[in-house]
Structure formats: C-alpha cells, structure tokens
Amino acid sequence: MSEINELREYFAEIMRLNYISSLLNWDQEVNMMNYKSVDGRSKQLSLIRKLIHRRITSEKVGKLIKEAEKLSLNEIESAMLREITREYNLETKLPEKLVTEIAETSVLAAKDWQEARAKSDFSIFEKILEKTVDLQKERAERLGTHPDLYSTLIDLYEPGVTYNWIANIFNPLRPKLIDFVKKLNSSSDKPDGSIFKKHYDEDKQFELSRKIIEKLNFDFGYGRQDKVTHPFTTSLAALDVRITTRTTEPFPDCITSTIHEYGHAIYEMGIKKELHDTILCTGTSMGIHESQSRMWENTVGRSKEFWMYWYPTFQEYFPENLKNVPMEEFHRAINIVEPSFIRVNADEVTYGLHIILRFEIEKDLIEGKIQVNELPEIWNSKFEDLLGIVPPNYAQGVLQDVHWSSGYLGYFPTYFLGNLYSAQIYANASEKMPNLPDDYKKGEFSNLLSYLKENIHQHGAIYRANNLIKRVTGEDLNSNYFLKYIEEKFTPIYRL
C-alpha cells in the first residue's frame, strides 16, 4: 500500500474516534442536562482524547508524512496530506504539559467566567483570563505557523488566514458600517419589534422549526434535531449530522437559530462519499462554515419571499399574536438594525461591528499592548466608538462571550468572515439563478441547495477557504458584495 493510502486508513480510525468523542459531547449536552454528575462522562472523554492524541503523534505518522511528500499525489491526496500534516504539527509541536495546562485552565476559567458574568464582576475572571492569554501566547509561539502570534491563533480556525489579511478587509468596513447603521436609524419610519415581546408557545415553535428544516431538505434519515439550551451542530458520522434548537425567548430566535444550525448541518451532510471517513470530511474553515449557516439564516430565512411562503402558517400557529400583523410588518420586524450590547442577538449590520471590536482587542491583547485588567474599560470605550452606546454592566459587555474562557482567541473574526463569504457566494448564485426569490415564495429551496452542494459542500476540506471562494466566484474575498447586500436589503426595509 502506498504511504498516502496508509495514512488515509490510519486517519479513518482517528476520524471514528473523533466522531465518538462528538457523540460523548452531544449526549452530554442533549441528554444529561439534569444529571447530578458528569464525572464518568468526563473520564470517557479524556480517554478518547488521549487515544486520538497518541495516534496522531505516533512516529509512524511522522514517517509516513515524509514518505508521502515524495509521491506524486492527485488533488484529493494532496489535500489529505496537507491536513494530516497540519494535524500532526498541531499535536506534536506542543509539549504535553502545555496541552494539559490549557485543558485544566479552561475548566477553571469556565467556572470563574460563569460566576463573573452572573455577578457582572470582571475581577473574578481577571486572573484566570491572564493565565489563559499567556498560555495561548505560548501555544502560538510554539506552533509558529506565522511570524506574528495572533495570525497563528487565527490560523487554527481559518487555515491560511493572517491578521493582516483580515485587517485589510475589516478596516475599510469599519467606518462604512458605522455610517450605515446611523443612516438606517435616522429613518422616520423604522420597523416596530413589539410583536416579539409577546409569548409564543415553545412546543409550537419547535414544531414550526422542524417543518421549516424539513422543507429545506434536511434529511432526518441522516440526522436529528433535538432541544437544548445552547444550539449547536455536530457530526457523529459522515451521514449522522445533528442539530439542536432552543425555544427560549425572544421569538423568533428559535426559528432563525434552527435555520442557522441547518446551514451548518447541510454543509456537512453534502460532503461527497469519496471523502467519507477521511480527514477531509468536514467543512474547510470556520468562516466558510459560518457562510453557509448565515446564508440560510439571514439571506434566505429573513428574506421577504421566504416569509411570503411561511407567514400564513405562522399566523395559523399564533393567531393571537400575528393575526392582525401584515406580513410586511413581520418581515420588517425580523430585520431591525439597532446597536445593542449582546453579539449573539445582533442584527446582520451591527454584527460586524461586534466582531471588529473583539478582533482589535484580541490583537492588542496578544501583542501585550493592552493588559487583561484594562479590558473592561477598553471594551466600553471601543464599544461606544463602534456602536454609539455603552454597556450598562460587564455582563452585557466584556463578560458576555464564553470564547476567551475556553482559550479561543482568534475565533471571533471567522464569524464576520462568514457573512462576507456568504454575500459573495450568494451574489454568484443569484447571478446564475436570478429566480431564487421566486423559488422561496413557493417553498422551494432545492435550487440554492444544489448550487451550494455542487460548488461548496461536496468538496469538504479539499480547498482552503481563499481557494474555494476564488473557484466558486472567480475572485478573492471582496467585502463589496456584503456592503451591496445590506444596502439593497435594508434601505427599503427602513423606507429610505
């Protein structure tokens, strides 16, 4: 057997262990919410992780990589070798002591962060966050993927991408977004969101969210939808992709977040069979993944045509709330653009500003230009610059996100990249299929899905994000598509 095939087979076993680890997590989130102890489960998880680590870091892998590099490989094999090498480096370059320390610190940090957020007291989180930042800096130093530390961290989530590349995209967007938000809010005929202050039955919400993803061609023969507190998507096999839904207030969060998770899931479900059980059987980057979830959630799921199809059903389900509300008002209400404190509740336009805030702060933090104890103040002052408002407390400010406590520094930018990728890809799809909105009016979503499957999903991780976007759209990432999208969408909604 050639070395690349040996690697393929060897990593098939690692993929299976990864899926098993995902099941252990999924089950804990979905089924063990009321458990008094997850001690047994934690031990099972660390055992599986240990087994995965041992396998990836075995001498055998190192040798096979060296041999495989000498072979003439086809496109898929090259991509496989690229990803295997990446994994090998990530796992071998870090000493076991550091890996353990990061894992242990993140458990403690999660606890401190929760308490700090509950009490809106940053000082509780400060010390462990300092340690977390130091550990991530050490991690980046040892990995050394890029000359600067922050790029190395970003690369963990968006392979191949650097700080400078992102800054070149985000920096010009910054003032344009600020201005656009101001412009919209100067309107004398803004949408009214008061219908979302009413109560919507949770079972009905769940039922509707299920109906929608069924119509969006989610195949329940290859996946599930379950209820949880924090929605997520996870793959337990190439053809076992599970999404989760929350039904907490405010409406229609349940609907939009379910469509969002659907977008992640349908990406994973669409990867071609040839890649199953290989290291390429996954989305190619967090940003591309997010482009899929956000395209379905926002571009499709908040479009007027989508609601022309669905709104009558919603009125039937919630007559007391919606009977007297015209579709157009509902559509405007789910597209309110307004500076707000919490990122996960932010609209499509202000969302980017929340990310730019974190991107700038992370950069300075990693480079030691700002210290952890300065974060609350810097957060608030930057927040005012970007969004024109100041968080009333730290819980709604610097303490709102779980990411830093988990050591995920460099992750945030991928969310906004997702919006940008999405706009560019969707513009391409619209060019090829100008009648997409007419599809939605009829409850027909398979043309868009086929396009995405053909151009993006099936390829799994064969092409890196920058490569993929060029293949699909003919050019590098270009934020003008996003700017054009929000302008064309929100100007009429705000009747400007």
Binding site for its own copies (CB under 8 A): 13, 16-17, 19-20, 23-24, 27, 31-32, 34-37, 39-41, 43-44, 47-48, 51, 219-222, 224, 236-240, 276-277
Of 191 and 223, nearer to its own copies (C-beta) is 223
Query: Where does residue 37 rank: exposed (0-12), middle (13-18), buried (19+ CB within 10 A)?
Result: exposed
Q: How far is CA 289 from CA 294, 317, 325, in A?
A: 9, 32, 35
Least CB distance to its own copies at residue 241 (A): 10
**The one catalytic residue among 261, 268, 297, 360:** 261
Q: For residue 202, give both structure tokens.
A: 């949770």
DSSP letter string, 412-446: HHHHHHHHHHHHHHHHHHHHH-TTHHHHHHTT--H
User: Phi then psi for 236, rounded to 5 degrees?
Assistant: -105, 0
Rg (CA), the chain: 23
3-state DSSP assignment of residue 157 = helix
Query: Would you state the torsion angle of the CA atoms of residues 3, 4, 8, 11, taken in this order, to the nearest 10 degrees?
Result: 70
Task: Give whichever of 220 and 392 is closer to its own copies, judged by the CB atom.
Answer: 220
CA dihedral 234, 239, 240, 241 (to 10 degrees): 30
CA distances from 337 to 249, 269, 453, 494 (A): 19, 33, 31, 9
Rounded to the nearest whole angstrom, what is the least distance from the CB of residue 39 to its own copies in the complex? 7
- CB pairs under 8 A, 24+ apart, for 431-440? 437/303, 437/304, 437/305, 438/305, 439/305, 440/300, 440/303, 440/305, 440/306, 440/308, 440/309
Residue 265 or residue 366: which is nearer to its own copies going by CB? 265
Q: For the beta carbon of residue 216, count every other beta carbon within 10 angstroms.
A: 20
How far, in Å, CA of 379 to CA of 113, rounded?
16
Query: Starting from the edge strand earliest in sequence, which strands make up the sheet with 240-245, in order?
Result: 223-227, 240-245, 233-237
Q: How far is the CB of 111 from its own copies (least distance, A)?
A: 20
Residues in CB range of 242: below 8 A, 6 or more apart? 26, 223, 224, 225, 226, 233, 234, 235, 236, 265
Closest CA to 222 of 288, 259, 256, 273: 273
User: Do 177 and 353 touch, CB atoms closer than 8 A?
Assistant: yes
Q: Toward its own copies, which CB reaches closer, 29 or 338?
A: 29
Q: Residue 47 or 71: which CB sits closer to its own copies?
A: 47
Complex with its own copies: residue 239 or 308, whichever CB lies closer: 239
Q: Minimum Å distance from CB 135 to its own copies?
A: 27
CB 117 within 8 A of CB 400: yes
Q: Residue holding tokens 């009905």?
A: 204
Instruction: State yes or no: is 329 an active-site residue.
Output: no
Query: How far apart are CB 204 and its own copies at their closest, in Å?
Result: 17
Q: Pick the closest to residue 469 from 298, 295, 264, 291 (CA basis).
A: 291
What is the crossing angle of helices 351-366 and 149-157, to 10°? 140
C-beta of 193: minimal distance to its own copies in Å?
Answer: 36
> Smallest distance, Å, CB 33 to its own copies?
10
CB of 244 to its own copies, least distance (A): 13
CB of 207 to its own copies, least distance (A): 15
Nearer to its own copies, 50 or 442 (CB): 50
Give SS3 for 480.
helix
Please state, in angstroms and rounded to a whole number, the distance separating the CA atoms of residues 321 and 314. Answer: 10
User: Based on the number of CB atoms within 10 Å of its own CB, is 85 exposed (0-12), middle (13-18) or buried (19 or more)?
Assistant: middle
| Catalytic site positions | 261
